[in-house]
Chains A and B, each alone.
Chain A
């Protein structure tokens, strides 16, 4: 397994000139008897913006949850920055990863959730500071500075001492982004981050994501139903259907010029 990774990485090197930051190799996932994902192969390059679209229940959330280690693949491998995420080597053998290994590898990944999942017992500032302080062992002063900087960037510099329940949905989601960003992940996952918002609050959140995307550095995987937004932001779009990536390519092809029939039907619902 380890050998395969190396040789494939070399191929990727030749082809694209860059090692992928994330690699899915024939990843399957079932819940009970239900096969949700039936062989996902996917390379994500550093800084690449990938949009994932597809009908409800097609497994979009499951794909990114496996990368965030919230769900374990049934088979296949996920490689993060050259490291096998769900397996580790022990006495020359590959064994299922333990929590220590997962912690080492998942440090590169961050995630923003559909329902924000802010910590209700902490202020906005504390929400952002807690992980840098306790996980990255940053000094309080530095964590505070960086958190404030990040909160200002998402336009919430004046809400530092408020509690999450005092904010609108759009503001909560922007806090959640600041909280994830301050950990400086190499890959950030967005799971339909505007779906739980009132329509008039969607814009402010997409605006912030656009700004982050324009900074370039960080790879982003965006599960979304906002097609216009995907066209703007994504380098590549994946259409997930019946457990596989049914079509992929730049937005100009996948969204604006779809070949797959089911994709065409799917898009009709979003683009008039």
Chain B
């Protein structure tokens, strides 16, 4: 089978129409994951063994099931679930499926950010008698967010590359349109080349951007976070 230039240039505008759907699905999923990730992190911090156990295993379950299976479940099986089941549009199903899947990773990012803040910061803010809310907003979060930004950027790119999964349940993004184009013309090579090209064009610059961001954040963070040593009681050994 030969490469057909004409077909390639026909496919390009046809498939490009899907960019908008692909991008908006990415953004909506991402925002959903950012918010839901916060919910997981919050739930995991509740000092109750039972809740903690349930949350931990739910997250583990979600993370170790393929996102494709989750999409199929939400789109095809959910409507048949008694009482709570309902039919959802492909787009909504994709938002919920991919959003929840990614929220479990995002939650880990939040957790690592919070844990990167030295315990002494909590203690100093208690000693200064801050309220719990003030501790979070004035002291902990400003330090916890910075190191998570490059990781969150990476997840945005990974999510972007997972979004084509939504084509399997009928979201008309670029992958889906490429399928349509291919079956109309009985050839696929031009159409899927366009898809690959479009993804490359969109994700490579974003990867560069995230990389740059990461370097910048690391530099900033190193500069500011070298405050006091981290180990407790470390100088007491020297005395006795």
Chain A positions within 8 Å of B, measured between CB atoms, are 55-57, 61, 68-70, 99, 103, 106-107, 109-111, 113-121, 130-131, 134-135, 163-165, 172, 179-180, 183, 192, 195-196, 225, 269
Task: Let me know if B204 is at the binding interface, CB within 8 A.
Answer: no
Output the least CB separation between A211 and chain B (Å).
21
Task: Let me know if B130 is at the binding interface, CB within 8 A.
Answer: yes
Output the least CB separation between B116 and chain A (Å).
12
- Cβ–Cβ contact A56 & B239, under 8 A: yes
Identify the interface centre among B132, B134, B138, B223: most chain A CB within 10 Å of its CB: B138
- Cβ–Cβ contact B237 & A179, under 8 A: no
- Cβ–Cβ contact A135 & B132, under 8 A: no
12 contacts between A and B (CB under 8 A): A56-B239, A68-B126, A70-B127, A107-B129, A111-B127, A117-B124, A119-B121, A120-B143, A130-B138, A131-B129, A135-B131, A165-B226
Task: Let me know if B228 is at the binding interface, CB within 8 A.
Answer: yes
Bound Cα distance A106, B227 (Å): 26
Task: Let me know if B128 is at the binding interface, CB within 8 A.
Answer: yes
Which of A103, A113, A135, A165 contacts B124, CB < 8 Å?
Answer: A113
Which of A109, A121, A195 contacts B143, CB < 8 Å?
Answer: A121
Q: Which chain B positions have C-beta within 8 A of A106?
A: 126, 129
Bound Cα distance A55, B138 (Å): 37
Contacting A at CB under 8 A, from B120-153, are 120-121, 123-124, 126-132, 134, 138-139, 142-143
- Secondary structure at the B interface, as helix, strand, loop or mixed, is helix
Q: Which chain A positions have C-beta within 8 A of B118?
A: 117
| Known contacts A116-B228, A120-B143, A165-B224, A134 near B130 by CB under 8 Å | yes
Q: How many residues of B contact A (CB 8 A)?
A: 33
B206-240 to A contact mask, C-beta < 8 Å, 1/0: 00000000000000000111111110111111011
- Secondary structure at the A interface, as helix, strand, loop or mixed, is loop
Output the least CB separation between A20 and chain B (Å).
21
Output the least CB separation between A213 and chain B (Å).
19
Bound Cα distance A103, B120 (Å): 18
Output the least CB separation between A239 and chain B (Å).
14
| Known contacts A68-B127, A120-B143, A192 near B228 by CB under 8 Å | no
Q: Which chain B positions have C-beta within 8 A of A130?
A: 128, 138
Bound Cα distance A241, B143 (Å): 39
Q: Which chain B positions have C-beta within 8 A of A131?
A: 128-130
Q: Which chain B positions have C-beta within 8 A of A116?
A: 120, 227-228
Bound Cα distance A69, B124 (Å): 11
Q: Which chain B positions have C-beta within 8 A of A121?
A: 142-143, 224
- Cβ–Cβ contact A118 & B123, under 8 A: no
Output the least CB separation between A179 and chain B (Å).
7
Q: Which chain A positions have C-beta within 8 A of B233?
A: 56, 61
- Cβ–Cβ contact B236 & A195, under 8 A: yes
Identify the interface centre among B128, B224, B235: most chain A CB within 10 Å of its CB: B128
